[in-house]
Amino acid sequence: MLNQNWRTSSRSGGNGQCVEVRRMEDAIEVRDSKDRSGPVVSFSLDAWEALVAGAKTGEFDL
């Protein structure tokens, strides 16, 4: 599946404190919604799934 459209979480609240994601062939790309011309971080699909799973289980809670 190829989706070149950037998406923001429906839970972002619209306050500009969020990231945007998109799927590109075999990777997930992430950027800061406040700096759309800034850097993009790219994750393999496996790494993205691990990141999301860790976030859901609270692995990254501070």
> What are the domain boundaries of the chain?
3-57
User: Residue 3: is its pLDDT beyond 70?
Assistant: no
pLDDT surpassing 90 at residue 16: no
| Nearest in space to 22 (alpha carbons), one of 2, 38, 44, 51 | 2
Closest listed residue to residue 55, CA positions, set 6, 1, 11: 11
Tens digit of each residue's pLDDT (9 = 90 or more) over 22-50: 999 899 999 998 888 899 999 999 999 99
